[in-house]
Chain A
Amino acid sequence: MPRLTIDDIEIEVPHGTKVIDAAERLGIMIPRFCYHRGLGSVGACRMCAVKFLQGPFKGLQMSCMIDAQDGMVISTTDAEALDFRRHVIEWLMLNHPHDCPVCDEGGHCLLQDMTVSGGHGMRRFSGEKRTYRDQYLGELVQHEMNRCIHCYRCVRFYREFAGYRDLGALQIAQKVYFGRLADGPLESPFAGNLVDLCPTGVYTDKPARFRARRWDLERGPSLCIHCSLGCNTVAGARYREVLRQEARLNEEVNGYFICDLGRYGFAYAGHPERPRSPRIGSQAVGWQEAVAVACDRLARLGPRSIACLSSARASVETLGTLKYLSKRVGSDHFVCFYDAAVKFKMGEIVSKLDGRTAVSLRDIEKADLLIGVGADPINAAPMLALAMRQAQRAGAKVVMMDPRPLFLPCDFEHLSVSPELFDVCLSALVKSTFDRERVGKHGEAAVTLYDRMLSCDPLDASVQARLEPLIAVVEGCRRPIIICGSDIAPASSVSFAADVALLMGEVKDQSGVFYVLPGANAYGAALFDAANGSSFESVVQEIEDGAIKALIVAESDPFRYVADRDRLQRALNKLELLLVLDYLPSETVRKAHIFLPTRAIFETRSSFINQEGRLQVAEKIHSPGTPIWQVSNKGHPPRLYGTGICGGEPRAAWRVLQQIAHTLVHSQNEISENDPWPVIGGECAVLARHHQHNGPLHGLRIIPQTSTAAFFDGDLDLQPKQPMDGHLTLLPVVSTFATEELASYSEIIQRVIGSPCAYLHSDDAERCGLLDCDRIRIAVDDGFLEIDLTVSDKMARGFLILPRHSRFEWQKLHCFAQGLPVEKIGNCTP
């Protein structure tokens, strides 16, 4: 480890640390524009010059380009360095417009800081400045090219780091231009990071334009709850409304970046129709009355007649307190997953994920082989795709088994097999890596499984031919990771992936399994929900039978998930009480008998557990209230003189639920009113360990070191199935930005999502007489669904892939009639 001296302070840093980073460890911030730890150095801006006094380098050098080495003595405040940096600023400012007052970066602009701190106050240059024409880059990012200082951060991120090609450096010399060849929305779902990265105001946050300066914002650490990765963000709110989000560095989770869904998906919390006051029927009432009436009606019902529903978007606090309430009222039903298959898979995942196999996104970047099993990273967990690209850039091989026409911003081997074949393919891929002796360490069951893997029949020739070269790669790799989805992947694959990861751990340096889960807190929901036998289906059944008379729905919307809405509606009509707690203007909220408004993630401290079992906390950013922008009709804050905040009624769901529980069972004593964690700890043993005085520890993995679940399922069916000829299976899948529930209430996201589009293999299309860009209709029970068709040959045969898109009623798909369901009705809507 090299030791060096910077400004008379000695420091020892790991090999490969740049001098600029070494200084930062000492708290010396060397000015920089082009250097970014996430992107590496290029030495484009010359701003980080420091004086090297002793050691292998001498004189003025760029601190971002030089690795720290033994014996270096460096001065950052040497007169020559200071003078150099002052000149750099001055020449960068030659062409930079004096437009800070109209620039949205003003207030958090690196160039502004450097200019002011560098003492460059007066311009000596009086010539003409270089000007450019700006481009339209879509609804998320605003372009203003005159402000560019040519640090190349944007293209380095966009092309090298993220792997998209539609933005780049154009022209030469004095005229270098950063943009697209033609106006048009940026294609990358990570484009929002340009806003954070650009040290000047070339790319600014378009939805937040003109709304606030950095110092106007109430900022705080928050989380993205749009997918299961749980990326860390900084949310900034002003006038009771979140205006923008930025990526927050978390080395283990998202790194320096987030995807556009995380950045722009926040608008659901300020939805204009968000219900903000308690209601009984359609009558707005006060909190006290609403809670009293709810408690009164619940108390009149028998113990077994109450069911509780929640979802994977509810926080740990909400789930834990609801579980507590459900136990206290003697309810048998606590349901977080509407789909029984998903619930089963979640149970498997929660029981099998442990310290031996769980990996973070950072581990993925370091892996040298990634095997995807029914996972579609770009659509289901975008930042995962970015991590996979980093692995691939570092030389990893990426193999994806998936029937979908996958897209990834990196090279990958696509085995377009049907979900039934995942296990067989995975087994064929990895079996030669193991040997009986090491497998034997995991017991009898492991050996049995290994034998079945060895003895299974070969796959069909085309797949086998694709597999052959990959098998060698698997044998040669040292750090393989299996990435497993949880929507289209069958339950057997979900547990088989964990088994394989565990066995791989024996023969490789490091191995792991990375699950992609159906919701921000799916892991948390499964912790509370898994051990219980009830399902949503049984709840509906019992409501119809009259056994369940009251339904408590906390931050969930069954109407969004069930296929047969009429049946659900009829069932809900039979209820004596439908008590709904939520912050979205959902269908269920509209139907509620009693509605209690709750706080969104920005308005209360809440915790979520991501897909690797990491518990993360989002702090409260602002107090709830109708955004002033809405109260004043996009105008100025009305200076109304009065008490209370307009629309400030929402309360944290856990508080309300706890209050209801206490009123019902009259036990005030042991529970604290201000801390949900004693209650949560009581409901979930795993979380009880993390019950501290200040709530949970942020960023802690709550998975066990060694899981006690039964690995190596003996019943695993490893025989390849013959595809049924001429049969089309409908496969509803997630679709970037368009599937997620919260995003469907976010106006900004709704503006940018494309129209839904179905995929069909070209052979199947030919058989059905369909062409690319046809508009098709699909027969369902009560009528038809219409959608545009894309024909692809990069997918599995025998599937019609349909997006769970917010503008497509995918919920109806289950009742699809047999036979040829698809017919053409015209051409694509433009």
Chain B
Amino acid sequence: MTQFDGKGSQVTVGVPAGRLKPKRVRRNLDLTLWEKLYVFEIIRGMYVTTKHFALNMLGFVLPPRGKKRSVFTVYYPDEKVVLPPAYRGRPVLVMRPDGTERCVACGLCETACPGHAISIVGAERENGERYPLSYVLDMTRCVYCGFCEEVCPKEAIVMSSEYQGLAETDRSRMRYSKEQLLRSEESVKGRIEYIRRIYSKCNY
């Protein structure tokens, strides 16, 4: 469902974060003949497509129902989609309130990353804290798998819902430094809550 949030430029897609529950998936492949035909599913899918198509066609002329507009199309870039926390956009580093990064340069994300997108050079602060002197994320290599986020013992790297500027015409511009990746805790709060919920269910 597309919701018009009234501010005119922000549109939220999908189920609100609070209501999201991991769904139990039925993994039974012994389908009945009826299921194998997929007829019902195809009809259901066509219904959704047709509905969106029709509403998009007619939505401009139909009066808004309450605050809601009936159009599904988002007018990007004038309107921006705010994605749900489950969305895996650009991995970003979380900043502590004092402006330093949470990351301790342990190198686990570097190891877990299947595309070798991350390289870290560790160092030590005056007070003995270990921190990444440089943290480079090569987005030409990132496959948005979220493994880095999953292994991070410090919740220091999270998959934000940022999707802008992920494509470039020059590969060298897709190498992000630590400074470019740092985000305030506030801005990734939803995702952090989400991963706490999801990963606490996993038993390692």
Give the docked Cα–Cα distance between A698 and B107 (Å).
36
A101-B154, A210-B123, A637-B119 known; A216 and B134 CB under 8 Å? no
Shortest A218–chain B CB gap in Å is 15
Return the contact of B111 from the options A102, A209, A216 (Cβ within 8 A). Answer: A216
Give the docked Cα–Cα distance between A215 and B204 (Å).
20
Please give, as numbers and ranges, the residues of chain A lying within 8 Å of B130 by CB-CB distance.
Answer: 101-102, 210
Interface 1/0s, chain A 351-363, versus B by CB < 8 A?
Answer: 0000000000000
Shortest B96–chain A CB gap in Å is 15
Q: Across the interface, name the chain B residue whose C-beta is closest to A144.
A: B128
A101-B154, A210-B130, A215-B111 known; A636 and B119 CB under 8 Å? yes
Interface 1/0s, chain A 620-655, versus B by CB < 8 A?
Answer: 000000000000001111010100000000000000
Give the docked Cα–Cα distance between A106 and B110 (Å).
14
Within 8 A of A (CB), among B106-140: 106-108, 110-111, 119-124, 129-130, 133-134, 136, 138, 140
Interface 1/0s, chain B 11-32, versus A by CB < 8 A?
Answer: 0000000000000000000000
Give the docked Cα–Cα distance between A326 and B164 (Å).
66
Interface 1/0s, chain A 80-106, versus B by CB < 8 A?
Answer: 000000000000000000001110001
Shortest B148–chain A CB gap in Å is 13
Interface membership of B52, Cβ < 8 A: no
From A211, A212, A636, residue with most partner B Cβ within 10 Å: A636
Interface membership of B171, Cβ < 8 A: yes
Give the docked Cα–Cα distance between A106 and B151 (Å).
14
Please give, as numbers and ranges, the residues of chain B lying within 8 Å of A634 by CB-CB distance.
Answer: 121, 133
Shortest A329–chain B CB gap in Å is 48
A101-B104, A101-B153 known; A213 and B175 CB under 8 Å? no
Please give, as numbers and ranges, the residues of chain B lying within 8 Å of A101 by CB-CB distance.
Answer: 104, 106, 108, 130, 153-154
Return the contact of A213 from the options B111, B119, B138 (Cβ within 8 A). Answer: B111
Give the docked Cα–Cα distance between A93 and B111 (Å).
26
Please give, as numbers and ranges, the residues of chain A lying within 8 Å of B108 by CB-CB distance.
Answer: 101
Query: How many chain B residues touch A (Cβ–Cβ < 8 Å)?
Result: 26
Residues A639 and B138 in contact, CB atoms below 8 Å apart: yes
Shortest A201–chain B CB gap in Å is 12
Interface residues on A, range: 10 to 19
Give the docked Cα–Cα distance between A213 and B204 (Å).
21
> How many residue pairs between the two chains, A and B, have CB atoms under 8 Å in the bound complex?
49
Interface membership of A56, Cβ < 8 A: no
Shortest A98–chain B CB gap in Å is 9
Residues A102 and B104 in contact, CB atoms below 8 Å apart: yes
Residues B138 and A102 in contact, CB atoms below 8 Å apart: no
Shortest B77–chain A CB gap in Å is 29
Give the docked Cα–Cα distance between A563 and B86 (Å).
74
Interface membership of B105, Cβ < 8 A: yes
Please give, as numbers and ranges, the residues of chain B lying within 8 Å of A210 by CB-CB distance.
Answer: 105, 121-124, 130
Please give, as numbers and ranges, the residues of chain B lying within 8 Å of A211 by CB-CB distance.
Answer: 122
Please give, as numbers and ranges, the residues of chain A lying within 8 Å of B120 by CB-CB distance.
Answer: 636
Interface membership of A121, Cβ < 8 A: yes
Give the docked Cα–Cα distance between A210 and B131 (Å).
10
Please give, as numbers and ranges, the residues of chain A lying within 8 Å of B172 by CB-CB distance.
Answer: 639
Give the docked Cα–Cα distance between A216 and B136 (Å).
17
A636-B134, A641-B171 known; A106 and B106 CB under 8 Å? yes
Give the docked Cα–Cα distance between A106 and B129 (Å).
16
Please give, as numbers and ranges, the residues of chain A lying within 8 Å of B110 by CB-CB distance.
Answer: 216
Give the docked Cα–Cα distance between A635 and B140 (Å).
19
A106-B106, A210-B130, A213-B107 known; A100 and B171 CB under 8 Å? no
Give the docked Cα–Cα distance between A100 and B153 (Å).
9
Mark A residues whose CB is within 8 Å of B. Answer: 100-102, 106, 121, 209-213, 215-216, 634-637, 639, 641
3 closest residue pairs by CB, A with B: A210-B122, A101-B106, A636-B136
Contacts A121-B204, A210-B105, A210-B122 aside, 17 further interface pairs with beta carbons under 8 A come to A101-B104, A101-B153, A101-B154, A102-B104, A102-B129, A209-B124, A210-B121, A210-B124, A210-B130, A211-B122, A212-B107, A213-B107, A216-B107, A635-B136, A636-B119, A636-B120, A639-B138
Mark B residues whose CB is within 8 Å of A. Answer: 104-108, 110-111, 119-124, 129-130, 133-134, 136, 138, 140, 153-154, 171-172, 175, 204
Complex A-B: 24 CB contacts under 8 Å: A100-B106, A101-B108, A101-B130, A101-B153, A102-B104, A102-B129, A102-B130, A106-B106, A209-B124, A210-B105, A210-B121, A210-B124, A210-B130, A211-B122, A213-B107, A213-B111, A216-B107, A216-B110, A216-B111, A634-B133, A636-B136, A639-B138, A639-B140, A639-B171
